[in-house]
Amino acid sequence: MMGKYKMVFSDIDGTLLDSTHEVRKNTKKKIKELENQGIPFILVSARMPEGIYTIQKAAGLESPIVAYSGGLVLDTDRKILKSNGMSQKKAEEITGYIREKWNNMCISIYSGSSWISFDDRDYWIKQEEDITTLKCIKGNFTDILEKDTEVHKIMCMGEPEKIAEIENILKVKYPELSVYRSKDTYLEIMDGRALKSNAVKVLCEVKNIPIEDTISFGDNYNDIDMLEETGMGIAMGNAPEEVKKHADKITLDNDSEGLLHMLEKLGM
């Protein structure tokens, strides 16, 4: 039965990575084996491309990637296969609203390979730089980005209660956007077309692989549509109960190499 799965889609944080933000040695070996057998192992994340390439390189993988939760799909040669972003005007409206209503909220703007923040010395920015090993640019994104460049993501980082409040209000105010928490302290705001499931469809078309012949792993709310879209959706043991309800199977948590455990259990 398992011979039918021809492509694997995996979230990164809380799924492929353990809680020290590393890919364990045996997991690395297994996913490299899959690629050597001609089964692409696609990293799918809310991260910007550079934050994904760091992990991809460390794991020795060479497949396409999905950044910004489906907002940007890049081929192995880093060519754009699909871009779903919002206009700078829209991004300016949203960030203006957040800054006015929630004073001192840490806001980041992501566009392609650029990560921009109004204050690069903020505690949350420093923490994110440590996790991703990337560097934030300080300034106003409208001054830094070229005129017609799309904004792929706005991210708010802060205390859980405040993040939940912003999420609830923005979902009502901007129903055309994709607004969700990637963790209790991170709120991701993107164009409504930026969905992991849409990226899965793009890559299935490019690779000429039926969607029912794919498998996916995820641990959070922004993975639900991907878990439901692929032939088999697997939730990590560390996923919230609500996410587990949408999966076909549940594996061990990310610190117990749940991804490796399930790939082996399924005979891949």
- C-alpha separations of 264 from 18, 194, 235, 258 in Å: 18, 31, 15, 10
**Distance, CA of 59 to CA of 263 (rounded, Å):** 16
**Distance, CA of 198 to CA of 88 (rounded, Å):** 22
- 8 A C-beta contact, residue 162 and residue 102: yes
As a 3-state breakdown, the chain gives helix, strand, coil percent values, each rounded to 5, of 45, 25, 35
> Is 11 an annotated catalytic residue?
yes
Q: Which residues are catalytic?
A: 11
